[in-house]
């Protein structure tokens, strides 16, 4: 079992929902946490909660879909932390609309954030993991990345892309002792799910952010050698 204490993690989209829950779960394991997002006030509130758990906590404000902002933000985090051990690519957006109804700008924005944003952040963090010859990258996809459906073409395309990107990356960097895990949850009672109106958050019917964060922690604790030999870690709701 891997010891997570004193390791350093970067979590994108860490100001709310699954990102916030994951940040708190990792902090409870004794990890220092850096969170990113676009709302500075919310990031500051989460960092305050994290610090109360006795760990170092910082934030960087940037849009993952803007490569220039990503470069500046990740540099800021690494400068403050000095190193990084774990990257959780969680930031994402979603919207409903048929191919004919959805505006081109909205369709492409979802791809820009969910897929290109993951690539941008990974590209900037990866050199530090390679230099250490160790690390973990956890990419959040979705069951929508396994099977498309009407009115979610942009979201499904982005999450299918995440799976392909993750699988390729895993095979590139396992020689560097870096694990790449892909998680594919269905609906989680997150802020985004509430905003889209796809769940009422009933804990008897839908996964809670804290529950999913526990799964991430459990995956990080798995023996490194075993995980490096296999395929990405997949997870779906019961």
* Catalytic center residues: 155
Directed axis angle between helix 40-51 and helix 17-28, to 10°? 20
The DSSP code for 151 is: T
Q: Which residues pair with 8 in a beta bridge?
A: 32
As a three-state string, the secondary structure of 184-214 is CCCCECCHHHHHHCCCCCCCCCCECHHHHHH
Residue in 4, 52, 9, 48 with CA at minimum distance from that of residue 29 = 4
Cβ distance 176 to 228 under 8 Å?
no
User: Residue 41: which residues within 8 A CB-CB, separation 6 or more?
Assistant: none
Mapping DSSP to helix (H, G, I), strand (E, B) and coil, where does residue 53 land?
A: coil
Residue in 137, 95, 87 with CA at minimum distance from that of residue 114 = 95
């Amino acid at each position: 079992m891997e010891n997570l204490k004193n390791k350093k993690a970067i979590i994108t989209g860490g100001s709310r929902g699954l990102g916030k829950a994951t940040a708190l779960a990792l902090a409870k394991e004794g990890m220092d946490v850096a969170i990113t997002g676009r709302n500075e006030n919310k990031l500051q509130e989460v960092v305050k909660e994290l610090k109360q758990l006795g760990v170092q906590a910082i934030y960087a404000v940037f849009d993952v879909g803007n490569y220039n902002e990503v470069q500046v933000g990740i540099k800021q985090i690494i400068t403050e932390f000095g190193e990084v051990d774990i990257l959780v690519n969680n930031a994402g957006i979603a919207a409903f609309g048929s191919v004919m109804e959805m505006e081109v700008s909205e369709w492409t924005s979802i791809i820009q954030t969910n897929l290109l944003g993951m690539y941008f952040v990974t590209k900037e963090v990866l050199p530090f993991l390679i230099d250490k010859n160790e690390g973990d990258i956890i990419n959040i996809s979705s069951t929508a990345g396994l099977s498309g459906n009407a009115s979610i073409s942009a979201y499904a395309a982005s999450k299918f892309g995440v799976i392909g990107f993750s699988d390729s990356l895993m095979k590139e960097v396992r020689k560097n002792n870096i694990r790449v895990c892909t998680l594919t949850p269905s609906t989680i009672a997150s802020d985004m799910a509430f905003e889209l109106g796809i769940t009422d958050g009933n804990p008897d019917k839908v996964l809670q952010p804290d529950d999913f964060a526990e799964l991430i922690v459990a995956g990080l604790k798995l023996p490194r050698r075993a995980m490096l030999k296999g395929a990405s870690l997949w997870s779906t709701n019961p």
